[in-house]
Amino acid sequence: MASGKLSPRQKMINMMYLVLIALLALNISNEILKAFHLMEVSFNKANESLTAKNKALMDAFQAAADDPAKAVRAKKWAEKAKEVQKISDDFCKEIGKYKADIEKAAGGRKEPESPADKGKVLEMSKGDDMEGHKHYLGTDDAKPGKGDDLRKLIDNTRAKMLKVLEGVKDEKAVIAAFEKNTAFRVEDFKDENGATKTWQRDVLGHSPVAGVMAMLTKVQGDCKSLETDILTKLSENIDATVAKFDKTAALIIAESTNVMSGSQFKAKVALMAYNSTAATNILVNGVKVPVVDGIGEYTATASGVGSHKIEAKIETIDPNTGGPTFVSAAPVEWTSFVAGATISADAMNVLYVGLDNPMSISVPGVTPANVFPSGSGIALKPNGAGKWIATVSAGTKTGTITVNAKMPDGTQKRMGDPMTFRVKSVPKPVAQLGSLTSGTYQKGEIALQNTLYAYLENFVFEGVKFTVTKYRVIFMPKKGYMEEAAVSGNSAAAIKSFANKAKTGDLIVIDGIRAVGPGGEKPLNPITYTFK
């Protein structure tokens, strides 16, 4: 997707674009739209954390400017810090206008469902809309449009922010490193045929509006992240990030708390009010992680569905004693999920009366303990994490299953539309004498059979069994009198007795057969055997 060595963060972003484009080849499900919204919410939270961090850095510049010993040195770098902050703020406001226009073109956002939802980022009312923003961005043809202006805005803003670094120590190397490593950029890629696909036309233009809003929010965060890096580098020249606080705190900035299975969870761990040499020893879940410019980088590969917790500690200097000490961050939880279907019948696509029908029920991004299915015409009972047993009663033709999920605020919301299942009775079994079906056999073959069985023909549901409970056997010789015997159970002893005295052409009829299994006792059709 781009030449040269990419940072892990940029590789993740490129992979996100590939996954997004692949998903757009499919029908856009409610679960995918929900995932886009969760990404937007997560990016917003990360942006708020970056804004708070940048404010702390600006406060440090002000502290340096107020220090008589540093005031002269601090003036130049403080002015540069204000300049880069203004560039960043202006850019984010401009992106905010893009988002407002696209939001309006797509029909706006959903209304709050409760007072608690006020002030939150709500889902788009038509999250799967593909047209409003496409026309707005001008992606229908090769003519320049808003999308091309957006790309220029990103490139020009990055260039202006990096220009602020002119005059720092090792200026050329620093600017080159920032240009190479920043995620604040847009990059084209090539498809399987080698054709170039552009970010503004083929990623934004072919994405549902829910995905576009998430990506634009991420772009704002990338700008703020670059602002943070530049402010930190500027402060190194005056030692402005030496904290004048008697307390310090650790901060975990997660790129996303909801991760698709197979993707990677990434987080940055940093000490607030720090310089690049302050935090050199960072532990996440007790394990030391790599530290770059005072920021720890933690990576974990998501697998399956579930919640995961990370706890971070950063070694720093105690402002009171001057000795080393560890500052702990509040634990952070993130969730891994598997994209795809949320309800499936494990055995087959129908439910059977009288059987325990195993089912798997899950919601992407939600742990099994917070998934609450309910049935109409279908009884459900838990059978392990994400596993359920469904039972249906005789006379039911169809049933539905509705799935609710518990949200972080404690409320429950319906996940998608109810799924309908057909209900069928277990088919009637067929009687068979040992290994012999109805037909003509040597008397020795018939006499060797010990049991009368009840078989389910072409029924693939494992573990379903019927047992013969009683039957009547009628011996009809060509010469002589007809005899019969009533049998309780499934022993073939009476049949064997008649077979031992049978002659060629004699006939045995087995009727009145009853077998017990799922759904109770059933009558079976008669079977006949003729002696050769």
| 388-416 per-position pLDDT tens digit | 999 998 888 899 999 998 876 778 888 87
Same domain, 295 and 357: no
Instruction: Say which range, 31-45, 202-216, 246-260, 501-515, has the weakest mean pLDDT.
Output: 246-260
Same domain, 227 and 261: no
- Checking if the pLDDT of 519 tops 90, the result is no
What is the mean predicted confidence (pLDDT) over 215-219? 90
Query: Which of the pair, 164 or 108, is modelled with greater confidence?
Result: 164
- Given this model, what pLDDT does residue 17 score? 59
Band of pLDDT at residue 6, cut at 50, 70 and 90: low
Q: How do residues 245-276 score in pLDDT, each as one tens digit?
A: 445 556 666 655 555 455 566 777 766 565 55
Same domain, 167 and 276: no
Which run of H or of E encompasses 388? strand 387-391
- Given this model, what pLDDT does residue 319 score? 44
- Given this model, what pLDDT does residue 248 score? 59
**Domain edge (last residue) among 294, 315, 340:** 340
- Checking if the pLDDT of 341 tops 50, the result is no
Query: How many domains would you assign to the chain?
Result: 4
Same domain, 381 and 323: no
Kindly write down the DSSP assignment for every residue of 259-304, as one continuous string. EETTSEEEEEEEESS--TTT---EEETTEE--EETTEEEEEEE--S
- Given this model, what pLDDT does residue 305 score? 63
Which run of H or of E encompasses 44? helix 30-66
Same domain, 387 and 451: no
**Domain edge (last residue) among 396, 425, 454:** 425
CA distances from 375 to 237, 364, 404 (A): 65, 20, 11
- Checking if the pLDDT of 344 tops 60, the result is no
- Checking if the pLDDT of 293 tops 80, the result is no
Band of pLDDT at residue 10, cut at 50, 70 and 90: low
What whole-number distance in Å separates Cα of residue 370 and Cα of residue 361? 11
What whole-number distance in Å separates Cα of residue 91 and Cα of residue 154? 8
Tokens at 433, concatenated: 């004498």
What is the mean predicted confidence (pLDDT) over 490-498? 93
Q: Which domain holds residue 403?
A: 346-425
Same domain, 474 and 518: yes
CA distances from 295 to 5, 183, 286 (A): 20, 16, 17
Same domain, 503 and 525: yes
Same domain, 390 and 497: no
Band of pLDDT at residue 203, cut at 50, 70 and 90: confident
Looking at the chain, the whole-number percentage of residues with pLDDT higher than 70 is 80
Q: How many CB atoms lie within 10 A of CB 86?
A: 11
Q: Which residue type is seen at 439?
A: G
Query: Which of the pair, 126 or 497, is modelled with greater confidence?
Result: 497
Query: Which of the pair, 343 or 284, is modelled with greater confidence?
Result: 284
Same domain, 291 and 383: no
Our measurement of the distance from residue 261's CA atom to the centroid of its chain's CA atoms, rounded to an integer in Å, reads 6
What whole-number distance in Å separates Cα of residue 412 and Cα of residue 303? 25
| Closest residue by Cα to residue 81 from 238, 217, 221, 220 | 238
Q: Which residue has the tokens 């026309």?
A: 135
- Given this model, what pLDDT does residue 320 score? 42
Same domain, 123 and 95: yes
**Domain edge (last residue) among 207, 225, 240:** 240
Q: Which residue type is seen at 408?
A: P
Same domain, 328 and 405: no
Range of 45-49, 132-136, 237-241 with top mean pLDDT: 45-49
Instruction: Give the CATH number for residue 270.
Output: 2.60.40.10
Average pLDDT taken over every residue of the chain: 80
Same domain, 58 and 205: yes
What whole-number distance in Å separates Cα of residue 244 and Cα of residue 112? 42
Q: How do residues 415-434 score in pLDDT, each as one tens digit?
A: 878 888 989 888 889 999 99
What's the whole-model pTM score? 0.42
Buried b / exposed e along 463-477 (16+ C-beta atoms within 10 A): ebebbbebbebbbbb
- Given this model, what pLDDT does residue 340 score? 45
- Given this model, what pLDDT does residue 240 score? 35
